Amino acid sequence: MGFGGYVVRRLLLVVPTLIGVTIISFALTHLLPGNPALVKAGPLATPEVVQEIERSMGLDRPLPVQYWRYVSGLLRGDLGESASTGRPVLEDFRQRVPATLELTLASLLVAIGLGVPLGVLSAVHRDSVLDHVSRVLGVGGVAMPSFWTGLLLLYVFFYLLGVAPPPLGRLAADVTPPPRLTGLTVIDAALAGHGGALLSALHHLMLPALTLGFAVMAPLTRMVRATMLEILESDYVKAAWAAGLPRRRVVYGDALRNALIPVITVLGVIFGFLMAGNVVVEMVYAWPGLGHYAVTALVTKDPGPIQSFVLFVAVMYVFVNLAVDLLYGLADPRIRLR
């Protein structure tokens, strides 16, 4: 069973999962109380108008038929329409997904950049004060509601100190946006060579990425710490020390490198946290991504966006986990045999 076979097997497993995901997101929106046709019609509509809309939305057909309409719509790219923006959901998504993606990636970098050193420190100086502090910091992010952290950071760094930008978007008002290639302002600005836009984009990304990164890094810190601990206790490392290799080189060289491989498995979990945390952090910083769009859709019982958002997140999650599994399978041959 080579790596190719492993890939095929993993891909095949994705299909039933995706089907299950569409069923769940369909069920979710149908459990929502209230009549989506009434929402679309507005408060002043007459019953005839509402019935008309119900017919056009297919709400009078039996459930399996509605499910089939839903899935075939998905495959065509028709995700329905949003009642609060009046536009096709696909268009709303196209506009907002890059913002969420940018925040997610930046937060991931922050989580790795903070989480890995903290985990290493904690492992290397086990049971010392440094260990305790690192553990509290590393895990602390997960213990605080991210809206709390976010608002406090905003209050301190924007309002009191004035070093963070106002929560009004991804770029300062007086900066011309770079031509849109990926939708990720930082990358677009870098590609176009706009130094001012690049700095402004990073500036605006700073606090939200810090808030979200801090909130999700706990599993990473834990994993790095645990793996480092195990490796540091291993015979191989002890032998290296006994042989006289400098401790520092062993710890931060081979040990760290080997500790980072299992970290890949945690990335899937962290991605889940990131997607969830996005919702809250985007609201606190008025970041124009999917988060607030989804919350509004949920609160106003707008079925098109809700289904699509839930589906989008789930599909991303499935594929990220797939990628993680494949990466890990590449790195560790033992996995493929299972």
Minimal distance, residue 69 CB to other proteins, in Å: 20
Question: How many chain residues are in contact with other proteins, going by CB under 8 A?
Answer: 115
Q: Does 258 bind other proteins (CB under 8 A)?
A: no
Q: Which residues in the chain belong to E strands, given as ranges? A: none
CA-nearest of 180, 213, 184 to 201 is 184
Q: Does 42 bind other proteins (CB under 8 A)?
A: yes
DSSP annotation of 107 reads: H
Binding other proteins (rule: CB under 8 A), the pick from 90, 245, 318, 327 is 318
Closer of 2 and 33 to other proteins (Cβ): 33
Region from 2-10, 63-71, 92-100, 184-192 binding other proteins, contact rule CB under 8 A? 92-100
DSSP three-state, residue 246: coil
How far, in Å, CA of 211 to CA of 147, rounded? 9
Please report, as residue ranges, which positions from 101 to 120 form the binding site for other proteins (by CB under 8 A): 113, 117
How far, in Å, CA of 225 to CA of 123, rounded? 5
Closer of 174 and 235 to other proteins (Cβ): 174
Please report, as residue ranges, which positions from 45 to 64 form the binding site for other proteins (by CB under 8 A): 49
Tokens of 265: 């498995």
Closer of 2 and 63 to other proteins (Cβ): 63
How far, in Å, CA of 101 to CA of 186, rounded? 11
Backbone angles phi, psi at 52, to 5 degrees: -55, -50
Do the beta carbons of residue 123 and residue 228 sit within 8 Å? yes
Please report, as residue ranges, which positions from 132 to 171 form the binding site for other proteins (by CB under 8 A): 132, 135-136, 139-140, 142-148, 151-152, 154-155, 158-159, 162-169
Q: Is the dihedral of CA 162, 164, 167, 173 positive or negative?
A: positive
**Stretch 202-241: interaction string toward other proteins, x if CB under 8 A:** xx--x-----------xx--xx--xx--x-----------
DSSP three-state, residue 258: helix
Minimal distance, residue 71 CB to other proteins, in Å: 14
How far, in Å, CA of 305 to CA of 296, rounded? 9
Minimal distance, residue 157 CB to other proteins, in Å: 9
Q: Does 32 bind other proteins (CB under 8 A)?
A: yes
Binding other proteins (rule: CB under 8 A), the pick from 7, 105, 130, 172 is 172
